[in-house]
Amino acid sequence: MVQLKQVSMRLKSIHNIQKITKTMKMVSASKFTKAERELKSARAFGYGPRKFYVSSQLQKEALGKEKEKEGERELAQPPEVKKEDVKKPRIIYVAVTSDRGLCGGVHSGIARMIRRTLAERSADAPHHKIVCIGDKSRSLLRLAYGEHILVSVKQIGRTSPIFKDASTVATAITQSGYAYDTAEIYYNQYFTPVKYVTTIVPAFSRKNIELAPKMTAFDDIEEDQLESYAEWTLAALLYYALKQSAASEQSSRMSAMDNATKNANEMIRKLSLLYNRTRQAVITRELIEIISGAAALK
């Protein structure tokens, strides 16, 4: 028979866990409201560089029109890497995650997509590098692709991301000395509080921007200005991705804590029923022993 003390301790433990998950849900709801509000102003940082890539034909796909309702906008995909090219392109994969967990499959989805992409391209370490934003992506990718990791940035996601965080990551990539051709930023595109999609947005180096098919349509630009613009577009897209991922993470954490609270309620109900049945069985057994002893003395 189940010990009454064990059930009681288990019930008390789940009550404490329920208090924690309920508090975390309330905190995530507050942070999610702030992240969703800040995301509106950050969308311009993502739209501008991608519009330039489409205008200069660095991207073949047309950029979807911005619409009033969230979730109706088509997402532009990065150009495919041609296997027949003689010179292998040098690509960096930027995984936008954070240092915190308890938010469902937000981080594991990004790591899974990067692993699948690297496997499909038969990626070698000299031509394919990984930039990990947040400790979660590093821990998920370190075992299989440790030699591919170029830069790892921590302390992201503890507070609301700002443009300084994005420029810090962009500076770390630039100062690493790795001359990349294309950067693929993997992040979670926020749609609604219950929906997000793992998405890729490309960023190009100064050399690729110079060789864009319709770059001549723009005025003559000096080399140092083009270099500065390439660095700024990388930072702007990183800032946009950080804001999108922050909103997705908070909404996912809010949903995860809500589900955990509901599961705790269900476990408390079942354990309370088990506790009452066990307690009643103990009382019944003691009464039988008392009555049997009294009957034996007669």
pLDDT digits (tens, 9 = 90+) for 175-213: 998 999 999 999 999 999 999 999 999 999 988 888 888
Euclidean distance between CA atoms 120 and 291, whole angstroms? 76
Lowest-confidence pick of 55-64, 123-132, 199-208, 269-278? 55-64
Among residues of the chain, what percentage have pLDDT more than 70? 88
Contact (CB, 8 A) for 113 and 130: no
Among residues of the chain, what percentage have pLDDT more than 90? 57
Euclidean distance between CA atoms 28 and 34, whole angstroms? 10
Using the CB atoms, write b or e for 243-282: b if 16+ within 10 Å.
bbbbbbbbbbbbbbbbebbeebeebbeebeeebeebeeee
Average pLDDT value for residue range 137-161? 88
Position 86 confidence tier, pLDDT thresholds 50, 70, 90: low
Alpha-carbon distances, residue 295 vs 278, 283, 289, 291 (angstroms): 26, 18, 10, 6
Beta bridge partners of 195: 192
Structural domains of the chain sorted by starting position, each given as residue range(s) with its CATH number in brackets: 35-253 (3.40.1380.10)
- For residue 174, what is the DSSP state? H
**pLDDT reading at 147 higher than 70:** yes
